[in-house]
Amino acid sequence: MKNALLTLLAAAIVGAGGTPTDVGAATGKKTVATKKKPPRVVVQITSKKLARAKSAHHSASLDDARHLALRSSAALVLDQATGEVLFEKNPGAVLPIASITKLMTAMVVLDAKPDLTETLSIGEEDIDILKGTRSRLKVGTHLAREEMLRLALMSSENRAAAALSRHYSGGREAFVAAMNQKAQALGLTDTRFQDPTGLTAANVSSPRDLAKMVDAAHQYPLIREFSTTSEGEFSIAGRSQQFHNTNTLVKNPTWEIGLSKTGYISEAGKCLVMQAWLNNKPIIIVLLDSWGKMTRIGDANRIKRWVESVSLARPSAG
């Protein structure tokens, strides 16, 4: 009898906890998790909420923030659950955002609810003639829309992003219009798009806007999955090729990252946006216009240490 009760109790506990949902189920592919992720956050950051939170800084955070020396020219650190701004540096600066653009590209693609298994092709129109960047996706490459989306988010593949926009109903012009409409709907007043890749410096935003854009993108399971996949194998022109995430932090065991996107063009400098769990809290990090190969990674690590130290320094309630 005792063993039976223990068995029933154990079953009840497991049932209450549930089973993590496979975010790849929607595409019919099994996703193998490399580490356990915390519960998902579904809060949406509104402009009013952000303004209220900004006026309610914790004094401890403000005092310690004076010692947080970031090399990015503009930055914002936000508690995603409450909307509280923990740190900001030139939060209203309107700057080129490079491939951070691809988060909006992914949202517009998924909002159209397309067939993710449909095969798309890389065409001459997808070649970068603005910056002359190279790509392993040769003209004539055929991949499923899902694979194009994964490459655009994980490896920041410009031709994949361009192809996704070209295969949109109405073509690329309609796609870019949808990007700007989505930005307006999200209340992104500093944000404008002219292309789906971010290769043009005309794609601009501010740290304040990007915090809201990251929060919105985090509501999409596939964007969370694809942007944090550390590497993947793809069949390109009959050959298996390995692609890696442009953010090395996604495979760092000391980080729990729920969304990631890097960006770089000469006009934008090195950029990085992330949703990460620090001290069991969902934190949004925006870093724009960093210079030096590892500066944005160094700034992210400085923010992580600072958030953790501030949390430990605060006196407990009661």
Catalytic residue among 156, 205, 227, 290: 156
User: What is the distance between the alpha carbons of residues 256 and 308, in angstroms, rounded to a whole number?
Assistant: 13
Kindly list the strands in the beta sheet with 74-79, ordered across the sheet, starting from the edge strand earlier in the chain: 85-89, 74-79, 281-290, 269-278, 257-265
Beta bridge mates, 283: 79, 276
Tokens of 171: 């073509």
Catalytic residue among 61, 72, 89, 102: 102
156 classed as catalytic: yes
113 classed as catalytic: no
Nearest CA to 282 among 20, 15, 79, 63?
79
User: What is the distance between the alpha carbons of residues 243 and 263, in angstroms, rounded to a whole number?
Assistant: 17
Catalytic residue among 61, 72, 99, 205: 99
User: What is the distance between the alpha carbons of residues 123 and 194, in angstroms, rounded to a whole number?
Assistant: 20
Q: Cα angle at 216 between 196 and 142, to 5 degrees?
A: 40
User: What is the distance between the alpha carbons of residues 43 and 84, in angstroms, rounded to a whole number?
Assistant: 13
138 classed as catalytic: no
Q: Tell me the residue length of the chain.
A: 318
- Active site amino acids: 99, 102, 156
